[in-house]
Amino acid sequence: MMMSKIVARTVDLRSDTVTKPTEAMRAAMAAAEVDDDVLGTDPTAFRLESEVARMLCKEAGLFVPSGTMSNLISVLVHCDIRGSEVILGDNSHIHIYENGGISTIGGVHPRPVKSNEDGTMDIGLIEASIRDPRGELVYPTTRLICLENSHGNTGGRCLHVEYIDKVGELAKKHGLRLHIDGARIFNASVALGVPVDRLVQPADSVSVCLSKGLGAPVGSVIVGSKTFIAKARRLRKTLGGGMRQVGFICAAALVALRENLGKLEHDHMNAKALAVGLNQIEGLRVNAAAVETNIIFFDITEGSKITAAELYKHLAEHGVLVMPEGPSRMRIVLHHQISSSDVQYTLSCFQQAFSGLQEENGN
């Protein structure tokens, strides 16, 4: 009878969304002061919204159940007139991983521009994509530009403050708004050594995920002007995102902000160490130099006798969980619940897979 292997250790590298609440978060949740957030009287939600707005130097904040909803609300508030169009990266999370919600729910037309390998879009291409108002009889109307920082699908690359400033100037020149999908904005801030408020200074709105690298169990906060946030609050209710005693989950997010912001740099160091180690394994290809934050994409190279399926199975059997991204491509995301020892263990599992499995395949 085939005995299933007892997994001695689990190293969950699928995403930074997989973290479990810490004891401090659980204690804060249990003790949270709560009230009805739809009626605007949950004191812990207000504390979290105020803290995130303060950190990003924006007038106000709004707690939202997910990053997807925070992006949807932000785009729909900025593009509240029929026929609106948003310029965004063709490899951005909003364009790829949010079910086209801005169009299917919001009726907003996407105007995708090529996402470069560093997560940027060429400024010239952005400007060339802005609709000429003289063609308003036939064209959609450009109203918004969306950036993503750090940029998930290009491997957690950071958009530099000079670039964001230039896009902000372009938006202002053309009377457009700028939204930043800042699901991992704190990762970018730490990696660049730029204060987070400076990094988002030109943005009219930012969505910040607390449930990613910061390790909160749930939630995002949108920040922007008081007027913008008032409209966002109403749209949140329309979308069913207005919840009652959210103070329970906001309390955990406050702990995450307090306790985990300082751990992001260690996540980045772990990611770099793992990327360098993986790149030394024959049969794997990693652009270790491009690993700036907590995300690693790697490919199984041509000629490697090991398939992605075999590697995935071998890793899973040893408790290492990664995210398949294609026939020969996978993703690893580091977070505060991955230790340096986990990194070494993971590397040894990869090394064993390539040496062990390739022997099995008669290499």
Ligand X SMILES: Cc1ncc(COP(=O)(O)O)c(C=O)c1O
Ligand Y SMILES: C[C@@H](O)[C@H](N)C(=O)O
Binding mask 150-169 for ligand Y (x = CB under 6 A): --x-----------------
User: Can you give the binding site for ligand X, defined by CB under 6 A?
Assistant: 17, 66-68, 71, 93, 148, 152, 181, 183, 209, 211
**DSSP characters over 169-196:** HHHHHTT-EEEEEETTHHHHHHHHT--H
Residue 330 CB, nearest approach to ligand X (Å): 16
Q: What is the DSSP letter of 267?
A: H
Q: Which one of ligand Y, ligand X, none interacts with residue 292, CB within 5 to 8 A by kind?
A: none
Look at residue 181 and give the partner it binds from ligand Y, ligand X, none, a contact being a CB closer than 5 to 8 Å depending on partner kind.
ligand X
Among 106, 75, 79, 77, residue whose Cα is nearest residue 93: 75
Q: Which of residues 16-55 bind ligand Y (CB under 6 A)?
A: 17
Q: Considering beta carbons, is residue 97 or 107 the nearer one to ligand Y?
A: 97
Eight-class DSSP state of 157? B
Contact 148, 96 (CB under 8 A): no
Longest C-alpha distance within the chain, in Å?
A: 74
Identity of the residue, 93 or 272, whose beta carbon is nearer to ligand X in the bound complex: 93
140 or 152, CB closer to ligand Y? 152
| Single residue of 9, 50, 97, 352 touching ligand Y by CB under 6 A | 97
* DSSP H/E element including 309: helix 308-317
**CA 30 vs CA 212, 244, 250, 275: distances in Å:** 22, 16, 11, 39
Give dist(CA 248, CA 297) in Å, integer: 35
Closer residue to ligand X, CB minimum distance, 183 or 338: 183
Q: Shortest gap between Cβ of 353 and ligand X (angstroms)?
A: 27
Residue 15 interacts with ligand Y (CB under 6 A): yes or no? yes
The vertex-211 CA angle with 210 and 214, nearest 5°, equals 60
**Among ligand Y, ligand X, none, what does residue 242 contact (CB within 5–8 Å per kind)?**
none
Give the shortest CB-193-to-ligand X separation in angstroms: 21
- Least separation in angstroms between residue 242's CB and ligand Y is 23
Q: How far is the CB of 171 from ligand Y (least distance, A)?
A: 25
- Partners of 23 in beta bridges: none
Residue 118 CB, nearest distance to ligand Y (Å)?
A: 18
Q: Which of 59, 48, 86, 72 has the alpha carbon at shortest distance from 229? A: 59
Q: Which residues bind to ligand Y, rule: CB under 6 A?
A: 15, 17, 97, 152
